[in-house]
Structure 1
Amino acid sequence: MSPGEAHMDHPLCLIENRPDGRLVLQEEALAVLRRIRQPVVVVAIVGPYRTGKSYLMNRLAGQRKGFSLGSTVQANTKGIWMWCRPHPHCSDRTLVLLDTEGLEDTGKSNTQNDAWIFALAILLSSTLVYNSKGTIDQNALDQLHYVTELTQKIRVTSSRDPSQEDEDSSEFARYFPAFIWAVRDFTLELEIDGHSVDDDGYLENALKLRKGNTEQVRRCNLPRLCIRKFFPSRKCFTFFWPTSKKKNLRQLEELQEEDLEEEFQYAVTRFCDHVWGTAKRKTVPGGQAVTGAMLAKLAETYVETICSGKVPCLESAVLALAEMENTAAVEEAVAHYGRLMGEKLILPTESVPELLGVHAECEKEALRVFMARAFKDDHSHFQTKLVKTLDDRKEGYCQRNEQESTQCCQALLASLSVELEEKVRNWVYFQPNGHQQFVDDLKDIEGRYRQKPKKGVMAEEALKQFLEGKEAVGRAILQKDTALSEKEKQMAEARAQAEATQREQEVQRQRQAELEQKMRDQQRSYEENVQQLKAKIEQNREQLLEEQKMMMENKLAEKEALLIEGYRKEAEQMIKEIQRLKEESAKIKDPSWPERALEGLVTGLSLFLPGIAGKAMGIITNMLRDM
């Protein structure tokens, strides 16, 4: 099993629908989801009870048993059950199957949650299978009345006034899954007006609007309109009776292939191949793939909102998801940076640029990790937090580098000065010409010290402090040296002072050079962050434009169909939605769009990177010329 996978041997209840009407998340199933770091393909099935939903889901799982089929008229599945399986075609994805309790169960004491179960299946899935028996007629469409209630059960944005008209259907379609209608026990000929049609043609014909403007016609057309608007990606599969022997239907999961009707087997194979081959990853608007951990967060957000008596808001759920993922992205990037620094950095370094070079390499990789996971960080709050954290970590490494260099240099100087210290203690230098001997011994120590490699960045500072520590004893030896005249002593004192000043100037020069090197590194860091954010913005722009294009194509096709069917008013509404999508696309294509997106990063980084603020917009302007 690859890292980030969490495949299950059997299904678990994800959301329990209790007899008192409460929806309760199950921690065991959530824990499984949280371990899945792969993108997930989420297939949910809904429909009336006792229609064989669980059988299809078991087949999608590649198993005969798993989800409970039941064999009586009593509905078996309560709430939503989950089964995470290896994806048959994509090793980098996990297949998450959601089996829901049957709708319209007459044995339920509380049926109000049917609409919430239906809504949750839509909200959590990337492909929704609606399973029914018989034919797609008006009765079947009336049973799917839950789709007409979606605008009351789900809100797209938090800013819409509930008293206003329903939100633009294109906004729902942006979040909603692909739709498959599975028609079980289908025995009719696929023929319309004397012409053969396939399953999809059968569905589209069933979704044609009825002529007329009466209340009854409007009521009949409402589920058709909702399906067409909310689910532009539609597919249909018809299934013949699985077996001609009614008693075998009660033990369908036990039957061998030879006991099943050939037509039924063929339809099940087609259905599974279609789902495995075409079902897309669960995503949120903008194309961000949803992982198992993110799916768990969505489930928690939606169920908690429903239980609080509020209407789930898609936009708010995505923002909560982004908050969670972006926080995790910062943590993952920082941890990655720490691992790389631990592998590549050997302290002490000979110079600050050497350390900064390793930091730059590790920061770049950490930023890539962040960019791969983060999304909807519209004001670059989390990216700024990452840069600040990495800058702090860099300073921490610089301090450790100085500490280890200081310790190394002090130990080296202590070992080199053992003989000198012994002479001082034995008053060897306190005799005529002793001062010169003391000075010569110090010069010898300094020479041998400078020849030693790998002392680190504090070599000059440590030497300066060492020599400063010998100044007092040097002056005492000088004053006791009877071989020197007062003038010679004054000249020796002046030379010592000049050398000390020179050493201090050298240390200050080195400190200034290091400060400038760190400033250049901050400039480099800023440019790297802008460059990677620019690339992500461009990627997001392409994804958004592709999303807009697909939605416009679906709207155009639906508009043409409405015109052909004679529904000019509905077609005109569709034209308005298409125009709005065009205006949105024009804004996304605007050259200033990336610059606006980068403003948050400029503001955030300028607060703590000295010297960046004045150069920031110039850097961005130059980079945008290449976009």
Structure 2
Amino acid sequence: MYLSTNNCSVFEKPQCLISIGNENILEVCDNVLDEISRIDKPCVIVAIAELYRTGKSYLMNRLADAHEGFALGDTIESTTKGIWVWCRDHPEQKDMVLILLDTEVLGDVEKGDSNHDNRIFTLATLLCSTLVYNMKGAFDQDAVNKLTFVSEMSKNIKYGGRCDEENKILQCILPGFVLALRDFSLKLIKDGREISEDQYLEMSLESKPERNVSFNKPRECIRQFFPKERRKCFAFPVPGDGDILGKLDSLRLQDLSQMFQDVATNFVSYIFIQEPKRLEASKPVNGCMFATLTKTYVDALKRGAVPDVDDTFAMVAKTENERVKKQCMLMFHSKMNEIQLPLPSESLINHFKEVCA
């Protein structure tokens, strides 16, 4: 049964889904996941990851159509630890739920665990249907170098018991990739002609034969993991002056610069047309399936194992089939119990057919 938004905390405000325990151990918040597991509708799952303090929470609140919710913060201190979740009735797709995943910032030197970012990024990537990577400025070599977790993706995910070094399988199971460039000030002009944000992304991802492996490999990995038809770029200009930036969380979209408004509107519109997460080409993921995915992946990461997507999908499918079977049997027995015997055999057969229809 679909969980009502009227009495569900995960629909009211962001909740901690994955907390960080001692020694950066990932822990599932069972009460939150239990609420999500009762959502019996297809889920469009959007995760946003970012380098340290580049304003991803503002984008999350825009997607949630809320002035506040995910903490923006106004200091250098990270306000998000682990992964937080906020469920909303999808604003444009009927009978669907939008699940927003806000990950802790990457590249925080105080964590003291070089693998922690990889675990957070891998988990968010495996759970979502669309991954938004939020960063500040141009998508230059420095920015590409910081995407080390993308380069390591083939080592951090298994499929059918093995890591996919050639990246062919990962293309089918990884989410769509959206690059959000914040405070972008470059003019999008190439050879005297104006280019689009998507063209800028593709140019930035081109390999150069004369450059070394450290230059080309990250670009190659992004191209292979996230095929061109599933890559998108949005270049956000500065939303306003210093006063605007200082109270961004309390301002309406129309209070910001017109150029920022235009990009933000296009970004939200693009995210809202994305399809639900699926088990490969199978049934769209609902809340119960999302819960199983989350528990299975977190359990693997806690053991220090590499998550196996194929095994996890099989487990989710089995759990979902058993859940649906149980619901059907309960409905069948409930309807059959309504029959007052004795009943003519022909009427009993007709009633049986109606119940099974």
**Shorter-chain TM band:** over 0.9
Letter in 2 for 1:180: V
Residue in 1 that maps onto 2:238? 241
Residue in 2 that maps onto 1:95? 98
Residue in 1 that maps onto 2:223? 228
Residue in 2 that maps onto 1:469? none
- What is the distance in 2 between the residues matched to 1:4 and 1:91? 15
Q: Which of the two has greater strand per residue?
A: 2
Residue in 2 that maps onto 1:193? 191
Corresponding residue pairs, total: 351
Could you tell me whether the CA contact under 8 Å between 2:132 and 2:180 is conserved in 1?
A: yes
Structure 1, residues 422-473: CA drift from partner, whole Å, max 9, x if none? xxxxxxxxxxxxxxxxxxxxxxxxxxxxxxxxxxxxxxxxxxxxxxxxxxxx
1:266 matched to 2:269: no
Residue in 2 that maps onto 1:470? none
- What is the distance in 1 between the residues matched to 2:284 and 2:166? 24
**In structure 2, the residue corresponding to 1:95 is in which secondary structure?**
strand
- What is the distance in 2 between the residues matched to 1:60 and 1:237? 15
- What is the distance in 2 between the residues matched to 1:5 and 1:153? 36
Counting only pairs closer than 5 Å after superposition, residues 453-472 of structure 1 correspond to structure 2 as none
Residue in 2 that maps onto 1:179? 177
| Structure 1, 259-268 or 95-104: larger mean CA deviation | 259-268
- What is the distance in 2 between the residues matched to 1:221 and 1:77? 32
Letter in 2 for 1:224: R
Structure 1, residues 492-514: CA drift from partner, whole Å, max 9, x if none? xxxxxxxxxxxxxxxxxxxxxxx
Q: 2:147 aligns with which of 137, 144, 148?
A: 144
Structure 1 residues 256 and 356, CA gap change in structure 2 (3 angstroms): closer
**In structure 1, the residue corresponding to 2:168 is in which secondary structure?**
helix
Q: 1:116 aligns with which of 111, 114, 119?
A: 119
Structure 1, residues 329-355: CA drift from partner, whole Å, max 9, x if none? 110111121233234x3311233x543
Letter in 2 for 1:208: E
- What is the distance in 2 between the residues matched to 1:257 and 1:94? 24
Q: 2:319 aligns with which of 320, 324, 348?
A: 324
1:208 matched to 2:206: yes
Structure 1, residues 54-98: CA drift from partner, whole Å, max 9, x if none? 000000000010001111111111000000011110231000000
- What is the distance in 2 between the residues matched to 1:321 and 1:258? 43
State the shift of 1:107 in Å. 2.5
**In structure 1, the residue corresponding to 2:18 is in which secondary structure?**
strand
State the shift of 1:231 in Å. 0.8
Structure 1, residues 311-365: CA drift from partner, whole Å, max 9, x if none? 100001111111211111110111121233234x3311233x54334324423x3
- What is the distance in 2 between the residues matched to 1:268 and 1:356? 59
Residue in 2 that maps onto 1:307? 302
Counting only pairs closer than 5 Å after superposition, residues 420-435 of structure 1 correspond to structure 2 as none
Which structure: larger Rg?
1
Residue in 2 that maps onto 1:57? 60
Residue in 1 that maps onto 2:248? 252
Residue in 1 that maps onto 2:351? 358
**In structure 2, the residue corresponding to 1:83 is in which secondary structure?**
strand
**In structure 2, the residue corresponding to 1:169 is in which secondary structure?**
coil
- What is the distance in 2 between the residues matched to 1:109 and 1:219? 24
- What is the distance in 1 between the residues matched to 2:72 and 2:21? 20
| Structure 1, 188-197 or 95-104: larger mean CA deviation | 188-197
State the shift of 1:140 in Å. 0.7
Residue in 2 that maps onto 1:36? 39
Q: 2:333 aligns with which of 316, 333, 338?
A: 338
State the shift of 1:261 in Å. 1.5
Residue in 1 that maps onto 2:341? 347
Structure 1 residues 256 and 332, CA gap change in structure 2 (3 angstroms): closer
Letter in 1 for 2:263: A
Letter in 1 for 2:234: F
- What is the distance in 1 between the residues matched to 2:35 and 2:72? 23
- What is the distance in 2 between the residues matched to 1:322 and 1:255? 44
Structure 1 residues 40 and 222, CA gap change in structure 2 (3 angstroms): same
* RMSD of Structure 2 on Structure 1 (CA): 1.7
Unpaired segments of 5 or more residues in structure 2?
Answer: none
Unpaired segments of 5 or more residues in structure 1?
Answer: 366-627
Q: Identity, % of aligned pairs?
A: 39
- What is the distance in 1 between the residues matched to 2:234 and 2:208? 23
The structure whose RCO (Cα within 8 Å, separation 6+) is larger is 2
- What is the distance in 2 between the residues matched to 1:205 and 1:322? 40
- What is the distance in 2 between the residues matched to 1:13 and 1:189? 39
Residue in 1 that maps onto 2:157? 154
- What is the distance in 2 between the residues matched to 1:244 and 1:250? 9
Residue in 2 that maps onto 1:69? 72
Could you tell me whether the CA contact under 8 Å between 2:254 and 2:261 is conserved in 1?
A: no
Structure 1, residues 369-388: CA drift from partner, whole Å, max 9, x if none? xxxxxxxxxxxxxxxxxxxx
Could you tell me whether the CA contact under 8 Å between 2:3 and 2:35 is conserved in 1?
A: no
Residue in 2 that maps onto 1:478? none
| Structure 1, 249-258 or 39-48: larger mean CA deviation | 249-258
Q: Which of the two has greater helix per residue?
A: 1
- What is the distance in 2 between the residues matched to 1:279 and 1:350? 52
- After TM superposition, the runs of 4+ consecutive aligned structure 1 residues lying more than 3 A away are 2-7, 256-259
**In structure 2, the residue corresponding to 1:288 is in which secondary structure?**
coil
Could you tell me whether the CA contact under 8 Å between 1:40 and 1:281 is conserved in 2?
A: yes
Residue in 2 that maps onto 1:293? 288
1:46 matched to 2:41: no
Structure 1, residues 220-260: CA drift from partner, whole Å, max 9, x if none? 11111111111111000000001122x44232102244542
Structure 1 residues 258 and 41, CA gap change in structure 2 (3 angstroms): closer
Letter in 1 for 2:245: L
- What is the distance in 2 between the residues matched to 1:248 and 1:106? 29
**In structure 2, the residue corresponding to 1:283 is in which secondary structure?**
coil
**In structure 1, the residue corresponding to 2:240 is in which secondary structure?**
coil
Could you tell me whether the CA contact under 8 Å between 2:67 and 2:251 is conserved in 1?
A: no
- What is the distance in 1 between the residues matched to 2:257 and 2:84? 28
Letter in 2 for 1:234: R
**In structure 2, the residue corresponding to 1:129 is in which secondary structure?**
strand
- What is the distance in 2 between the residues matched to 1:260 and 1:106? 32
State the shift of 1:302 in Å. 0.2
Could you tell me whether the CA contact under 8 Å between 2:244 and 2:256 is conserved in 1?
A: no
- What is the distance in 2 between the residues matched to 1:109 and 1:76? 17
Structure 1, residues 91-143: CA drift from partner, whole Å, max 9, x if none? 31000000001100122233421001100111000000000100011111111
- What is the distance in 1 between the residues matched to 2:257 and 2:22? 38
